[in-house]
Amino acid sequence: MIVVDGTTIDMQGQGFANLEELLLKVMEDKYMDDRVVTDVLVDNETFSEIYPHQAEDISSDEFSSVEIRTVPVQDMAVNITRELYKVVNLMDHGSRQVAELFRQADDGEALEMYQDLLDVVRDFIGMISVLRDEFSLKDHKELQESSNEVNVLFGEMCEVMENEDWILLSDLLEYEFIPAVNKWKKIIALLREDIKEYEA
């Protein structure tokens, strides 16, 4: 038995050799256009691949039912914007911690956390770009201004790091970077509205 979003799908006689073939066939259906799979249950047990193409190793005689749960891409994007809001709070908190560690002369730990913070910021900016490109979102003036502000700050912070001026780096984080990061909350709200209004 194959169930997709609560609807039983008749795929009798398709002769799937394994779970991967079944999943690929389901994904070919027009219904799956503009949808993202969130859960796959095999015999009522959650399935997620531990290694690539693991589904290929599960023979079709090893299971009797597959349930696939999906959401529209648009809904998933709105959910991502909610997560991005949490990431802004994380960047704010992380910046404060790094600044505090530098001020306490705990440079080793501060530098390690600072590197993690930079990775989070890069991923955050990357996700914003993906959403904007994927949904042909409006060019908000605030988005461009905040992107430029963060880029300029990154440049300044790199120079300060080269000079190993940890107190100045703390000041930049606390008095310039944190306010810049918090401006993204408004931008995320604007992006969320754009995504909700988006027509493919």
Q: Parallel, antiparallel, or unpaired: how do β-strands 35-42 and 45-46 relate?
A: antiparallel
Write the CA distances from 147 to 44, 85, 144, 182, integer angstroms. 45, 16, 5, 12
Token pair for residue 13? 């006689």
Say how far apart CA 196 and CA 193 lie, in whole Å. Answer: 5
pLDDT tens profile 58-97: 998 888 889 999 988 888 888 888 889 899 999 999 999 9
Token pair for residue 98? 């790094």
Say how far apart CA 181 and CA 147 lie, in whole Å. Answer: 10
Mean model confidence pLDDT for the chain: 87
Contacts of 102 (CB under 8 A, 6+ apart): 110, 166, 167, 169, 170
86: burial class by Cβ within 10 Å (0-12, 13-18, 19+)?
exposed
In tens digits, what is the pLDDT along the chain, a chain of 200 residues? Answer: 888 988 888 766 567 888 898 888 888 888 888 888 888 999 999 998 888 889 999 998 888 889 999 988 888 888 888 889 899 999 999 999 999 999 999 989 999 999 999 899 888 888 888 887 777 666 778 878 888 888 899 889 989 989 999 999 999 999 999 999 999 998 888 888 888 877 55
